[in-house]
Amino acid sequence: MTKYGIKVLPKKEVLDSQGRAVQSVLEKAGFSLDDCHIGKYFEVKTDKGEVEIKKMAEYVLFNPLIEEITIESL
Amino acid sequence: MTKYGIKVLPKKEVLDSQGRAVQSVLEKAGFSLDDCHIGKYFEVKTDKGEVEIKKMAEYVLFNPLIEEITIESL
């Protein structure tokens, strides 16, 4: 049984309004940031391999048009 | 300038209804999973250290009562 972490972030070309909003809130609070992106994080436990996980993620977990993923085994 | 990844997941004791819903959808589609948790993922670029990042995350990015975070430098 392997644990996988799947990070989903908006593509660089896509306007990340949520990220910008958080960055501006943090800057007002005195935490200066150079860049801030916000996405989703999935942690799944399964006996499948990484290829299967990628197929699964493409099926339902992210939109390849506007988002990109990183899969890591934990 | 360092890039940090901040993973926010619901605590194990907290009912992760979103995770359960996704798990059930995936199982119906033939992807059997043993466990599925869903959270948020932040990627920030800053010249601050990890201690400062943790303080910042506690200030606004997660709720320590029901969520837990993992900070990694990328």
ipTM value of the model? 0.86
Round to whole Å and give the CA distance between B63 and A3. Answer: 24
Tell me the CATH number at B51.
Answer: 3.30.1280.10
What is the domain count for chain B?
1
The per-residue pLDDT for range A22-62, each reduced to its tens digit, is 999 888 988 888 889 999 999 999 888 888 888 888 887 88
Interface test with B, best of A14, A33, A52 (most B CBs within 10 A): A33
Contact of A4 with A53, CB cutoff 8 Å:
yes
Round to whole Å and give the CA distance between A11 and B65. Answer: 31
Q: Which residues make Cβ contacts (< 8 Å) with residue A25, sequence separation at least 6?
A: B60
| Chain B residues in contact with A31 (beta carbon < 8 A) | 46, 48, 52, 56, 59
A47 touches chain B (CB under 8 A): yes
Identify the domain containing residue B23 by its residue range: 2-73
